[in-house]
Amino acid sequence: MADNRSGIYRIVHADSDREYIGSAVRFRKRWNIHRTQLRQGKHHSRYLQRAYDKYGPDSLVFEVLEIVDDPSLLIECEQRWLDKCHPVFNTSSIAGSTLGVPCAPETRKKISAANSGRTGLRHTEEAKRLQAEAKIGNTFNVGRVQPRDEVERRAASNRGQKRTPEQRSRISEGSRKHPGHPQTPETRAKISKGHKGIPRPPHVIEAMNEGRRRKRDANRAV
């Protein structure tokens, strides 16, 4: 039974005994998060999501495996249960921290090794449809102007990074396979209408003017 204690839990498919194992500071809150993500088709475990979609919400049962009074020990205890049970619904065999506690170097190496060589997963058409429906009416960040310090911080984090030849090759190959589609006049009109009335901050205007100056200087140099 999910309550407000902390510890290790499992979500088990009653008919097959296949399970997902995780840790939680508060069982009840974590179980509610799982159920919400499953209903929306957004759960990070595609295996658990498939079981939910195929067999329904009543097929999954939440069970407490161990009470852990000290939240700082949750990851260690979760890893012990993962090593013991090898749950098939977990997408990783390495316990991940949800408490903001930095992973030890050994744990980071295990996570890196587990993810090595993995390629991106493509969403099914059904998953895409569910995600699109969940976003209908969502106005979060609409018309939001990013603060200058936020823009500069993000730019600084990317400045000086160099892509490897393999990365450049993959980007180039992806661009050839997906060259993009020209926007229809209706789409351009909608975008223009959506931007009307939203004032540009001074630093954005300055950046746009600087881009125009550079383009003009480059044309003159040709």
- Supply the CATH number for residue 98's domain: 3.40.1440.10
pLDDT for position 13 = 93
Would you state the pLDDT for residue 162?
Answer: 76
What is the span of the domain harbouring residue 35? 7-102
* Domains of the chain: total: 2
Res 107: pLDDT? 66
- Check residue 201 and give its pLDDT: 76
Whether 34 is in a domain gets the answer yes
Residue 130 lies in a domain: no
Domain end residue (candidates: 76, 102, 128): 102
Domain's final residue, options 49, 72, 102: 102
Please report whether residue 25 resides in a domain: yes
Whether 2 and 62 have beta carbons less than 8 Å apart is answered as: yes
Cβ-proximal residues to 106 (8 Å cutoff; 6+ apart), any chain: none
Question: What pLDDT sits at residue 100?
Answer: 42
Task: Output the tens digit of pLDDT for each of the chain's 222 residues.
Answer: 557 889 999 999 988 889 999 999 999 999 999 999 999 999 989 999 999 999 999 999 999 999 999 888 999 999 999 999 999 999 888 887 444 445 567 767 776 776 666 555 667 788 788 777 776 766 656 666 677 777 787 777 777 777 788 888 887 777 666 666 667 788 888 877 777 777 777 877 888 888 888 888 877 776
In a domain, 127, yes or no: no
Residues 74 and 6 sit within 8 Å (Cβ to Cβ) = yes
Q: How far is 187 from 131, CA to CA, in rounded Å?
A: 21
Instruction: Say how far apart CA 92 and CA 24 lie, in whole Å.
Output: 17
pLDDT at position 190: 80
Answer with the one of 102, 121, 143 that is the final residue of a domain.
102
Domain-embedded: residue 44 = yes
Does a structural domain hold residue 165? no
In a domain, 137, yes or no: no
pTM equals 0.44
